[in-house]
Amino acid sequence: MFTFRWIAVGWFVSCMTLSTTVDCLAQVDAQAVEDASAETEPANDAEEQAPDFLVPMINVELSLVKRVCEPNDVQMKAIVAAAKEAHKAMTDIVEQPEELDDDKPRSSPVKFMGPNGESVLANPYVRVRQDMAKLLKPIVSEPQYAKYTEEVKAREEYERETAIALVVKILDAKLAFSADQRERVQKIFRSEAKDIDIHWLVLADTNGDLLPPLPDQLFVPVLNDAQQKLLASLRRENVIPGIFDAGLIEFGEEWLK
């Protein structure tokens, strides 16, 4: 439902950037949009509670959009409206109370904990960014969208490189790498590591005996015998990070309340 709404609203706003308001409004078959929205509306939309703790993340992303794409007021209004819909649909990344049953295996492992102990089943930062990219495309112009994608790509590279450097640093601190091993592991992680996020690694970085559950195939083959022994003495635990455990800086722009 929300995807359709983004497209519908986006097309509407794109028109407005290219034409006058009156001309564009004439092109919109409002009834058709409304009908299609109704068809894709999930039955339990009103019952599920959108997770509030994701709102600051969405607001930060909207503020980035504002700075990078420099949308006009009408575009920004539509982007915020679409983001609001996207937020409502984010119930799927938080384990719902009725799904909590200790005897039942989880469909997806818990990746983060919300501030009130919510089990978050996907990386919320990634989700917010993916949603933003989807909703933005039909609303802004091509050059605006290109600016945004270029900017988020640079951010993704910065975060990923930082995370990989942190992995190497953690492994080095606990297993004493040679310069060659550091380079090899860095290379392997660059080409093969998926879903690597600084948030998961920071706890292991500050705890001497803790090693995050990194996939063995990405680093164990480069270890010598002494390092294999050291590895066996470490605790390899998946400590689930809390979303707000780094302490929040309040950014003053509240697009979503």
Q: Which of 60, 74, 81, 240 lies at the binding interface for another protein (CB under 8 A)?
A: 60
Q: Is 155 in the site for another protein (CB under 8 A)?
A: yes
| Least distance from another protein to the Cβ atom of residue 24, Å | 29
For the bound state, the minimum distance from the C-beta of residue 168 to another protein, rounded and expressed in Å, comes to 8
Cβ closer to another protein: 14 or 59? Answer: 59
Contacting another protein within 114-133 (CB under 8 A) = 125
Taking CB under 8 A as the rule, does residue 251 contact another protein?
yes
In whole angstroms, how close is the CB of 30 to another protein at the nearest point? 33
Within 220-249, the residues that bind another protein by CB under 8 A are: 226-227, 229-230, 233, 246-249
- Give the one residue of 136, 140, 185, 198 binding another protein; rule: CB under 8 A: 198
Using CB under 8 A, count the residues that bind another protein: 52
165 within 8 A of 171, measured Cβ to Cβ: no
Site for another protein in 165-194 (CB under 8 A): 165-166, 169, 172-179, 181
Report in angstroms how near the CB of residue 122 gets to another protein at its nearest: 16
The answer to the question of residue 149 lying near another protein (CB under 8 A) is: no
- Alpha carbon of 81 to those of 8, 69, 96, 135, 185: distances in Å? 12, 17, 25, 10, 44
Q: Which residues contact another protein (rule: CB under 8 A)?
A: 56-57, 60-61, 63-64, 66-68, 125, 151, 154-155, 158-159, 161-163, 165-166, 169, 172-179, 181, 198-199, 202, 205-210, 226-227, 229-230, 233, 246-253
